[in-house]
Amino acid sequence: MRWRRFFKRRWWDEERAREIVAYLENETADNIARGMPPTEAAAAARRKFGNPGLVREEIYRMNTIGWLESTWQDLRYGMRALRLSPGFAAVAIVSLALGIGANTAIFQLLDAIRLRSLPVQNPQELAEVKIAGGNHGMGLNQEYGELTRPLWELIRDKQQAFAGTFAWSANQRYIGRGSQVRHFNQLLVSGDFFRVLGVRPFRGRLLGPRDEGACPASSAVASYAYWQSELGGRDLASGIKLFADNALVDVVGVTPPEFFGMAVGDSFDLALPFCQPKDGLRRDIFEVSVMGRLKPGWTIERASAAMAVLSPGVFEATVPPERDPRTDRMYKHFRLAVYPASTGVSDARQTYGKSLWLLLAITGLVLLIACANLANLMLARASARGREIAVRLALGASRGRLLRQLLAESGLLAGIGCALGIALSQTLCRVLFWLILPEGETVDLRIVTDWRVLLYAGAAAVFCSAVFGALPALRASNSSPVTAMKAAGRGMTASRQRFSVERAVVVTQISVSLVLLVAALLFVRSFRNLLTFDPGMRESGITTGFLGFWQSNLPPARWLEFKRELLDEVRATPGVLNAATTTNAPLLGSSWGHGVRLGSVEGDSKFTWVSPGYFDTMGIPVVRGRGFNLDDTAAAARVAVVNQTFVRRFLGGADPIGHTLRTIQEPNYPSTVYEIVGVIPDTQYNDLRGKTPPMAFAPASQLPAPGPWTGLMILSNAPSAAMGATIKRRLAARYPDVIVELSDFQKDVRSGLLQERMMATVSGFFGLLAAVLAMVGLYGVISFLVTRRRNEIGIRLALGAERGQVVAMVMREAGRLLLVGVVTGAALSLLAGRGARSLLFGLKPYDPLTLVAAALLLALIAATASFLPAWRASKLDPMAALREE
Amino acid sequence: MGKKPIQTDILQGTLDMLILQTLAPGAAHGHTIAYAIERRSEEVLLVEHGSLYPALHRLEDRGWIASFWGTSENNRKARYYRLTAAGRKQLSAEMSRWERVVRAVNQVLRPAEE
């Protein structure tokens, strides 16, 4: 009732006004009827009625909601005040919009990879079953693979904790034939996957238990994105057949657009059902992630306890074959445990989570500096408006009302800045991706502005307006009208205490921007260290390749010969200087290791099988003994080249030539004795960062279980892209069935530095921004101080002070602020540095050089910012300054 | 304006009740209601006729009376008020409450007469 009246209060007011007129007319008519003269009759009627204005006001007040009305008034007044100083408003709004926008953008990223739940029904019920503490690297391990298929089948049949369970695994496979093949992201799912998750088909049907059968699988489900981009959104009824992962499959359905699989940041293209291979499931491939929906009333702890009870039987029944007793014992002692899985799994989360939190802290600090600048601006405005406020106080405005008025103004600024910031955040996210992603790479992340993001931006805005609104408002409402009116316009030497707030704000700004500058320098230098870091091998001019010939139907006996043929074809290409095959390309993340025993010492070593030209191609010198040659054939004695870490680890640094190493048996890899014939220096293994592990190389011809594929390292003097295209054409012409993938080694290695590039770019940008903001802040405060001290400076000049002395006086003032700021900032950066330790390469978080450089940079900025007002002060005409009084 | 006005908020409920009662026989416009109350309360409750209007507004807001524009006896436009069903219920509730209060006060003031 009241709300309806509230929105119609103007109409009601007019209605009552008309009614009052009606009353007065009636009464006047009655008075005339009683015999009064017309003029007196109207006056008497008005007397009888009382004050119409008061009556209308009383009714109007009944229709309004007090606080709402006055807030609206405050906002309108604030709007007018801002429109009067458009420059101030623009600066404030733009800096807030950028600050809040940057914060929201980073938060959105965090939200997308870390906080948001999976787009399935009741994600909070999902939990994952894993081996507590992991499997210690035994067997073969796939990304996101926690358990083996035999383990999954036992868990599925025996578990009590879940109302429904499913397993899935994700990998990259090929689609198409021969030189036309392309990659696709495969999601392999158990029969109940879609039913337990509660995902409904967008088109057709999804996979069910009936689709699980003997290999190869014959049906697949496409993701919405893949269906749209690769299948052209075609009608399923007409039948879509694809040659995926070496078998023909029918696309029977499409998942809804919001469903991206279980791994945040790695969306899938096609989902295929689990199938049973002819020769049974392998017990040593940790390839699946097992999840389920907890039964009502079951907690994670209770489920974990139930799984622990189940564990001994389950592991006892699935011991992988052909292992050494040590591994067997370890395997049988594994325990299953249950972990929450409402947000799915994500490698991106592991990799980028920490960086993003750090970036959020950085952008938060930048926002703080921007707010501090606004606080100073508002303080200056408040003192400029001192007289107005004094008059209002003198006229009886309550302090609370005045405070509300001033807060409304800053709230208005924050509100507009926040709205613009939210609008900007999506664009900023895209700019960030564009800045850090290498050409041609994309990120599969859904960046959405959901309630969490809105809440965050809102909180940031409230925080801002509290910071820069409350200070000036409190001060203004604390001023006594008498002194304020007296002081306005009278320039006296300002008391120290009066400006302590401004000083404190500037000191805070300086110290925070020092922290940000230190962080920026650390990350930029760390990134540079990585770029210039020598991994111990050639990076530029190298093209990596992968050749697969499983579609050629060659008998395994011919594989080795065919690989040599392919390599010769590549080496014969004009422009190719050298080339070699390898089972594992270095620095790109993949890993291949075996257990080894040398005498009594046992441990793990990386293993790579390479063709004779490998060390030459990669520019790795053989420092002792020899490399491989064509005499190291399949029939010859087994030989190995090891790195220096290997020698230290297993031979205590003794001369290794002539020693033998024995590999520990695994399925398809029987225990074999290799004679060490050469030593290479330590090179990085699969990552630029990290310590070099023990490494062993063996001839490609002696690989125990070869497959119909090989890796390639090609050295050329032509640019990698052009070289790749030439080689690809040449191979496609001669071997159309062979799958050929080539790419620029150096580019691939650098794209692995995405995180470092992001930290360096973003923190560098924000570090500079912080410095600029601090400069603006310092400039503002020093100018303000100088204006306040005009008289004093005028008198000093009149009494014969040198101009240089005036400059020095002002600069000393700035210097004091700088000193306090830098000292606190240095202390803060030492504290904050600990959080960044794990993200730095070749640097300690308390790097003195960085600290000094940042402090010097800041000092330079501060000197520039304060010199201008100091110079202006010294140019003051003493007569003019004194006469103005 | 000869008499000293009585603080209306004390007797506001009473004024509301009087308005409702005035409207009980049938619809009336502000001018008529004002005179009716003035006559009955001997100007104690309604010093200035203007103060009637906020009371009317409040009663209408609560849904006890409804209003419409009509033509008065002497052919002028006037806003008429009439009692709603809720208003009628309110009036009887108010009156019985009032009678209880009056009885109680009388008992305190003149116990001997009982």
Cis bond upstream, residue A704 (ω within 30): no
- What's the pLDDT band for A485 if we cut at 50, 70, 90? low
Cα–Cα dist A183/A174, whole Å = 5
* DSSP per-residue codes, B69-86: EEE-TTS-EEEEEEE-HH
What distance in Å separates residue B98's CA from the closest CA in chain A? Answer: 26
Question: Averaged over A490-514, what is the pLDDT?
Answer: 71
**Range from A113-122, A503-512, A561-570 carrying the lowest mean pLDDT:** A113-122
Question: Averaged over B81-89, what is the pLDDT?
Answer: 91
Between residues A432 and A546, the one the model is more confident about: A546
* Closest residue to B72, CB basis, from A18, A26, A48: A26
Question: Averaged over A454-469, what is the pLDDT?
Answer: 85
Single-letter code of the amino acid located at A282: R
Q: Does the pLDDT at position B1 exceed 70?
A: no
Picking from A173, A751, A225, the residue whose alpha carbon sits closest to that of residue A441 is A751
CB-CB contact of A345 with A263 (8 Å): yes
Question: Averaged over A87-112, what is the pLDDT?
Answer: 86
pLDDT of residue A146: 92
pLDDT of residue B4: 41
Question: Averaged over A38-52, what is the pLDDT?
Answer: 87
**Range from A6-15, A459-468, A642-651 carrying the lowest mean pLDDT:** A6-15
pLDDT of residue A493: 45
Cα–Cα dist A63/A11, whole Å = 11
Q: Does the pLDDT at position A326 exceed 70?
A: yes
Q: Does the pLDDT at position A202 exceed 50?
A: yes
Task: Assess B66–A contact: CB distance below 8 Å, yes or no.
Answer: no
**Which residue in this structure is represented by tokens 């006729």?**
B49
pLDDT of residue A440: 61
Which positions in chain A touch B79 (Cβ < 8 Å)?
15, 18-19, 22
pLDDT of residue A441: 63
Half-sphere exposure for A20 (CA within 13 Å, toward CB): 27
| A351, A432, A438, A741, A765 from A752: Cα distances, Å | 11, 17, 10, 18, 21
High-pLDDT (> 90) share of chain A, %: 41
Chain A residue with Cα closest to B54: A59
Report the alpha-carbon angle A846-A848-A853, nearest 5: 120
Give pLDDT tens digits for A335-382.
999 999 888 887 777 778 888 888 899 999 988 888 888 888 887 777
**B29–A49 C-beta distance less than 8 A:** no
* Closest residue to A26, CB basis, from B50, B63, B78: B78
Picking from A673, A696, A664, A702, the residue whose alpha carbon sits closest to that of residue A683 is A696
Q: Exposed, middle or buried by CB within 10 Å (0-12, 13-18, 19+), for A274?
A: buried
Give which of B61, B67, B84 to mutate to test A binding, by max A Cβ within 10 Å.
B61
CB-CB contact of A213 with A276 (8 Å): yes
Residues 6+ away with beta carbon under 8 Å from A803 = A797, A874, A875
Give which of A49, A54, A60, A65 to mutate to test B binding, by max B Cβ within 10 Å.
A49
- What's the pLDDT band for A269 if we cut at 50, 70, 90? very high
CA end-to-end span of chain A: 60
- What's the pLDDT band for A427 if we cut at 50, 70, 90? confident
Q: Does the pLDDT at position B5 exceed 50?
A: no
Question: Averaged over A636-642, what is the pLDDT?
Answer: 95
Residues 6+ away with beta carbon under 8 Å from A44 = A27, A31, A36
Cα–Cα dist A706/A824, whole Å = 62
Tokens standing for A275?
């199938």
pLDDT of residue A692: 94
Picking from A314, A312, A292, A345, the residue whose alpha carbon sits closest to that of residue A149 is A314
Question: Averaged over A14-21, what is the pLDDT?
Answer: 86
pLDDT of residue A491: 45
Question: Averaged over A75-85, what is the pLDDT?
Answer: 84
Bridging pattern class, strands A285-286 and A140-141: parallel
| A537, A580, A589 from A611: Cα distances, Å | 17, 5, 21
- What's the pLDDT band for A193 if we cut at 50, 70, 90? very high
* DSSP per-residue codes, A435-450: HHSPTT----------
Between residues A345 and A619, the one the model is more confident about: A619
Q: Exposed, middle or buried by CB within 10 Å (0-12, 13-18, 19+), for B110?
A: exposed
**B63–A23 C-beta distance less than 8 A:** no
Question: Averaged over A531-550, what is the pLDDT?
Answer: 93
Between residues A495 and A202, the one the model is more confident about: A202
pLDDT of residue A597: 93
Question: Averaged over A576-589, what is the pLDDT?
Answer: 94
Tell if the pTM clears 0.80, that is, is over it: no
Q: Give the number of other Cβ atoms within 10 Å of residue A701's Cβ.
A: 20
**Which residue in this structure is represented by tokens 């009376």?**
B65
Residues 6+ away with beta carbon under 8 Å from A34 = none
Cα–Cα dist A18/A23, whole Å = 9
Contacts by A831-840 with C-beta closer than 8 Å and gap 24+?
A: A832/A361, A832/A515, A832/A519, A833/A518, A833/A522, A835/A358, A835/A361, A836/A358, A836/A519, A836/A522, A836/A523, A838/A354, A839/A354, A839/A355, A839/A358, A839/A523, A839/A526, A839/A755, A839/A756, A839/A759, A840/A522, A840/A523, A840/A526
High-pLDDT (> 70) share of chain A, %: 95
Q: Exposed, middle or buried by CB within 10 Å (0-12, 13-18, 19+), for A540?
A: exposed
**Range from A296-305, A332-341, A729-738, B52-61 carrying the lowest mean pLDDT:** B52-61
What distance in Å separates residue B79's CA from the closest CA in chain A? Answer: 6
Cα–Cα dist A650/A600, whole Å = 9
Q: Which residues of A touch B (CB under 8 A)?
A: 1-2, 5, 12, 15-16, 18-20, 22-23, 25-27, 29-30, 47-52, 54-55, 58-59, 62
User: Quick check: helix, strand or coil at residue A461?
Assistant: helix
Cα–Cα dist A63/A73, whole Å = 16
**B61–A50 C-beta distance less than 8 A:** no
pLDDT of residue A381: 76
**Range from A467-481, A767-781, B77-91 carrying the lowest mean pLDDT:** A467-481
Tokens standing for B34?
């004002």
pLDDT of residue A860: 92
pLDDT of residue A552: 87
Q: Does the pLDDT at position A149 exceed 90?
A: yes
Residues 6+ away with beta carbon under 8 Å from A644 = A623, A679, A680, A681, A682
Q: Does the pLDDT at position A494 exceed 70?
A: no
- Helix (H) or strand (E) holding A131, with range, is strand A126-131
pLDDT of residue A444: 65
- What's the pLDDT band for A560 if we cut at 50, 70, 90? very high
**A58–B54 C-beta distance less than 8 A:** yes
- What's the pLDDT band for B2 if we cut at 50, 70, 90? very low
**B61–A1 C-beta distance less than 8 A:** yes
Question: Averaged over A686-706, what is the pLDDT?
Answer: 93
**B30–A19 C-beta distance less than 8 A:** yes
Task: Assess B76–A contact: CB distance below 8 Å, yes or no.
Answer: yes
- In CATH, the number for domain B12-113 is 1.10.10.10
Which positions in chain B touch A49 (Cβ < 8 Å)?
48-50
Cα–Cα dist A836/A515, whole Å = 12
Residues 6+ away with beta carbon under 8 Å from A300 = A127, A294, A338, A339, A340
Most confident of A119-123, A203-207, A876-880: A203-207
Give pLDDT tens digits for A393-402.
788 777 777 7
| A207, A318, A611, A663, A815 from A673: Cα distances, Å | 48, 29, 19, 7, 72
Domain residue ranges of chain B, discontinuous segments joined by +: 12-113
Half-sphere exposure for A498 (CA within 13 Å, toward CB): 17
Which positions in chain B touch A5 (Cβ < 8 Å)?
61
pLDDT of residue A1: 46
* Closest residue to A16, CB basis, from B51, B53, B74: B53
ipTM of the complex: 0.81
Taking all residues of chain A, what is their mean pLDDT, rounded to a whole number?
87
Give pLDDT tens digits for B7-66.
445 466 778 888 888 898 888 888 888 888 888 777 666 667 888 888 888 888 888 999
Chain A residue with Cα closest to B75: A26
Cα–Cα dist A830/A323, whole Å = 49
What distance in Å separates residue B56's CA from the closest CA in chain A? Answer: 10
Between residues A666 and A692, the one the model is more confident about: A692
CB-CB contact of A455 with A463 (8 Å): no
DSSP H helical ranges for B4-113: 12-23, 30-41, 52-61, 85-109
Which positions in chain B touch A59 (Cβ < 8 Å)?
53-54, 57
Which positions in chain B touch A27 (Cβ < 8 Å)?
31, 49
pLDDT of residue A306: 93
Single-letter code of the amino acid located at A463: F
